[in-house]
Chains A and B, each alone.
Chain A
């Protein structure tokens, strides 16, 4: 399944499928990007980050892709599990000052 930007707030995928969550960021001067996962009633949890001098970074079951040309960020989750159900936020660090600006988020729902 795939979501496009922050205009499609809900993404439903089948357990075991790959998920792709997209994010369009606003400032071409942003140099650091983070994906957070937020479960209901909890604070945002760090998933993975990437700096602007990279275009891809991999973690455990997650990959972040950065396309600076079109100011686009994506989070890929491999073999999506029920525990991945949450709201996912991308955040950009403006001007290197540790000031994060968050997007609206995408709700990921994993269907059994």
Chain B
């Protein structure tokens, strides 16, 4: 069974630029999550989708971050404009029931 796919794996941008990350969850998983993981810390939930609807986006900085999952499968996370403190690994996860399975992440560096 294929795992969660993410791209790109690495991205370097300058502050105030925009960036987008893509996630393809495990086939059949209705729930999709985006996490931010700052170096040395555990992942922090940004947004959770159930099919194409948002379940929880309480921790998403909505002034600069946006996410969508229009057809209930793939998802994109966008940051515009990026700040230095957005440097982190952005992880996508999916679940069928309780257990969340993670992708390899996208490492973002904001200069």
In the complex, chain B residues whose CB is within 8 Å of the CB of A98:
31, 48, 55, 95, 98, 100
Verify if B34 is at the interface (C-beta below 8 Å from A).
no
Q: How many residues of A contact B (CB 8 A)?
A: 22
- B101 interface hit (Cβ, 8 Å): yes
Rounded to whole Å, the gap between the CB of A27 and the closest CB of chain B is 15
Stretch in B12-20, B69-77, B78-86, B102-110 touching the partner: B102-110
Contacts of A43 in B (CB 8 A): 4, 91, 93, 102-105
The answer to the question of A99 belonging to the interface, with a C-beta cut-off of 8 Å to chain B, is: yes
Range for the number of chain B residues in contact with chain A: 20 to 34
Which of A11-19, A62-70, A72-80, A102-110 interfaces with chain B? A102-110
B44 within 8 Å of A (CB atoms): yes
Which residue in chain B gives the minimum CB-CB distance to A51?
B98
Question: Do the beta carbons of B45 and A46 come within 8 Å of each other?
Answer: no
Residues of B with C-beta under 8 A to A45:
102
Q: How far is the CB of A70 from chain B (nearest CB, A)?
A: 21
A99 with B45, Cβ < 8 A, contacts A46-B99, A49-B99 known: yes
Task: Say yes or no: B104 contacts A42, CB within 8 Å.
Answer: yes
How far, in whole Å, are A41 and B106 apart by their CA atoms in the complex? 9
Task: Give the residues in chain A near B41, CB-CB below 8 Å.
Answer: 104-105
Nearest CB in chain A to that of B101: its residue:
A46
Nearest CB on B from A75, distance (A):
15
Residues 34-50 of A, flagged 1 when their CB comes within 8 A of B and 0 if not, give 10100001111110010
* Distance A93 CA – B55 CA, assembled complex (angstroms): 15
- Give the interface of B toward A (CB within 8 A): 4, 31, 40-45, 48, 55-56, 91, 93, 95, 98-105
